[in-house]
Amino acid sequence: MSEIADRFREVARSCEGDVFWTPRSTPVEAMRRVAVQAEELGIEEWDVYAERGAVARLEEEVAGLLGKPAAAMFPSGVMAQQAALRVHCDRRGSLRVGIPEVSHLLQHEDDGPRLVHGFRFEHLSMGRELPTVADVERLGQGLGAILLELPLRDAGCVLPAWDDLVAITAKAHELGAAVHLDGARIWESQPYYERPLADIAGLADTTYVSFYKGLGGLAGACLVGEQDVVDEARRWRKRMGGTLFHLTPLAIGALAGLRDYLPKMPEYVAWGRRLAERLVAKGVRVNPDPPQTNTFELFAHADADVVNERVIAFMEETWVQPCGMWRPAPVPGEVTCEVAVHEAALTRDPEEVAKWLREITGS
* Exposed/middle/buried for residue 108 (C-beta within 10 Å: 0-12, 13-18, 19+): exposed
Rounded distance between C-alpha atoms, residue 93 and residue 102, angstroms = 25
Q: In this predicted model, what pLDDT tens digit does every residue of 44-86 receive, in sequence order?
A: 999 999 999 999 999 999 999 999 999 999 999 999 999 999 9
Task: For the beta carbon of residue 43, count every other beta carbon within 10 angstroms.
Answer: 20
Whether the per-residue pLDDT at 351 is higher than 70: the answer is yes
**Average pLDDT of span 153-160:** 97
Inform me whether the pLDDT recorded for 1 exceeds 70.
Answer: no
Confidence tier at 22 by pLDDT (50, 70, 90): confident
* pLDDT value of position 291: 98
Q: What is the DSSP letter of 22?
A: S
Mean pLDDT over 333-352 rounds to 96
For the chain, residues classed under CATH 3.40.640.10 are 47-245
Query: What is the pLDDT confidence band of residue 21, given thresholds at 50, 70 and 90?
Result: confident
pLDDT tens digit string along 162-212? Answer: 999 999 999 999 999 999 999 999 999 999 999 999 999 999 999 999 999
pLDDT of residue 23: 75
User: Cα(4)–Cα(306) distance, rounded to whole angstroms?
Assistant: 10
Q: Where in the chain is the domain with CATH 3.90.1150.10?
A: 2-25+264-361
Closest by Cα among 15, 101, 113 to 312: 15
Cβ distance 211 to 319 under 8 Å? no
The percent of residues above 90 in pLDDT, for the chain, comes to 96
Return d(Cα 312, Cα 108) in angstroms, integer: 28
Q: What is the pLDDT of residues 281-331, one digit of tens each?
A: 999 999 999 999 999 999 999 999 999 999 999 999 999 999 999 999 999
- CATH of 2-25+264-361 among 3.30.200.20, 3.40.950.10, 3.40.190.10, 3.90.1150.10: 3.90.1150.10
Looking at residues 17-44, what average pLDDT do you find?
93
Domain covering 47-245 assigned CATH 3.10.110.10 in the classification: no
